[in-house]
A and B are shown apart, each in its own frame.
Chain A
């Protein structure tokens, strides 16, 4: 499953995020008094019809709920003008494999739809609020060019994007809101609604440690108010310890089973197509190890960073996860001890070997803190391990193994 793992890698390197569905984001918006269209989530055509019936007016919109953008272009968002049509459309979207520019060619199975009241759209705007790493400020981005791929807008017409930076120490002020509202050319009534919305979204971002809040489109209705037609919210993985309630929003159907298993043990793991399993400490060294495996003519079966503070138990679980990938024909362990000491790593490998039947050759390359003790533990364990003198040697040996 090769996916575009570059994006996952980028997420891991930059700290990791938790994604949620649009309907969950809108539920959260509701809690913060951010206006959203009336609607509800449905898991079957019957449920979709019930929700549409309760809405009481047509058209209604049926929207596929997956953790990826570009759903409309992929055929996952449709308008219905009668209860029958709601049923038919929900029936066709539920169970479909939706392919968008963000899902990769394998697409995503749709298991739920959001059924929402249609709006009298006067104009589609864009609004987002997120931490900006380069300035260490919180940035509000807005544009009159809403409803489009915002990356494209930024590329072709950067002048159409309004950016307002907020110092996290002093927080959001009325002038920030005025700046956004006037430059969006909003009517007076809508400006008031937008100001409240910006304040509420800012509070939500802080209180949930969101790493992204994006509304595209934000709709200016014929009634001169603004409503969040779409909602995308990501959270900072590192802050989830103080937001236990957000964990309920996690949808395991959207994640790779082995990656879910790895996340239970705080391991950063990405499942890939190749046959060289590898376990490394540190994301940078892990990427460099994958690079050198490829240079040696083999393909990595995974990315696995056991992290700086890995315990013997984490190493053991990492081993088990690598081995549960049936494509793996050889394993390369590359550990440069720092926080993770080589003796701890060695104990983990020995424990894993005792509990799991290691059916493939394992090449070990170890350096750094307590390396002598680590080598002694491995040597005395009676395990059939292939030792490597350096990284190049290790990659060469494991590549040779999987070729045969």
Chain B
């Protein structure tokens, strides 16, 4: 079992003919992902390797039954691409694109309210169910199929680091996903924790956060009430000095939380095993998940 993606997930790639889109589509296919379609407006009818390219997402979905989209569209056009996928009824939209304007993402987020699609990202490495399906840019070989650990992270490359250490300890993963660090994003920690808690094959969860915002505090509160499985956490930025007082409205709406110390304190209180030295992350997981 796994969360959100599995062996029979049918993936379409928006921006498949771009440099990154092409490279990572090939990597996903090599990993075993069922990439059934690509979308690049104006290039409909062509093929990227063996993958048929369509002009619109709606057409790609109609002709191929794709139920998941992987987006590599440049930031200026990415919000449009996400809404196009949602409009076409794609149930999972994974957005890799980095640097999308905040106001664009706010519109997307409000547009998606009440619609059944799930967004992962933007500015994220994507999602992988090891051995089954890779929808993203993470290096496949560092993962170990078969579970029993789920990994969720706000960071990109830091996710690879912790997954790599799990694998070196012989600990496999059910599903690993990066939810992205942008101010406005789709799926959050709590959505993933809820899914991992329900997944019978996931026996423990790794949660990787970073300073700023209050996502980790919210997740910790959720874990206290709703998660029975053991959780190992890490916060990047432990030694960063606290920011100066911002002295403006941004500080008020983002709340008082945000330093690594405050996050770690709240996480420990909720029973999360917090790792404070990334070099020993795998070892701590081996102990906790033994």
Contacts of B104 on A, CB cut-off 8 Å? 239
A258 CB within 8 Å of chain B: no
Q: Check if B67 is an interface residue, CB within 8 A of chain A.
A: no
**Residue contact A369 to B139, C-beta cutoff 8 Å:** yes
Which stretch (B2-10, B48-56, B176-184) binds chain A? B176-184
In this complex, the interface size class of chain B, counting residues with CB under 8 Å from chain A, is: 35 or more
Query: Would you give the 0/1 interface string for B242-254, flagging 1 where the beta carbon is closer than 8 Å to chain A?
Result: 1111111111111
A137 close to B (CB within 8 Å): yes
Least Cβ distance of B233 to chain A in Å? 13
Instruction: Say yes or no for B237: interface residue by CB 8 A criterion.
Output: yes
Whether the pair B103, A294 counts as a contact (CB closer than 8 A) is no
Q: A151-B252, A211-B102, A395-B279 are in contact. Are A283 and B155 (CB under 8 A)?
A: yes
Are A169 and B137 within 8 A (Cβ)? no
Residue interface bits A202-245, CB-to-B below 8 A is 1, else 0: 00001001011010100000000000000010001011011000
Closest partner residue, chain B, to A151 (CB atom)? B251
Say yes or no: A4 contacts B241, CB within 8 Å.
Answer: yes
Chain A contact residues: helix, strand, loop or mixed: mixed
Residue from A5, A136, A242, A369 within 8 A of B109 (CB atoms):
A136
Which B residues lie within 8 Å of A367 (CB)?
Answer: 139, 142, 160-161, 164
Could you tell me which residues of chain B, from 74 to 126, have a CB within 8 Å of some CB in chain A? 75-76, 96, 98-107, 109-111, 125
| B158 near A288: Cβ-Cβ < 8 Å | yes
With A14-B213, A133-B183, A290-B240 already in contact, the answer to whether A101 and B101 are too (CB < 8 A) is no
Minimum CB–CB distance for A273 against chain B, Å = 11
Given A138-B106, A141-B252, A309-B98, residue A288 in contact with residue B142 (CB < 8 A): no
Contacts A134-B253, A287-B236 given; does A209 touch B102 at CB 8 Å: yes
Interface residues of A in 2-32 (CB under 8 A from B): 2, 4-10, 13-15
The reply to whether A15 and B243 form a contact with Cβ atoms under 8 Å apart is: no
Q: B258 on the interface (CB 8 Å rule)?
A: yes
The 8 A CB mask of A149-160 against B (1 = contact, 0 = none) is: 111001100000
What are the residues of chain A within 8 A of B280 when measuring CB–CB? 392
A151 to B245, CA, bound (A): 8
Closest residue on chain A to residue B101 by CB atoms: A239
A378 interfacial contact with B, CB 8 Å = no
User: Nearest 6 CB-CB pairs, A to B?
Assistant: A284-B155, A392-B279, A7-B243, A282-B157, A239-B101, A6-B243
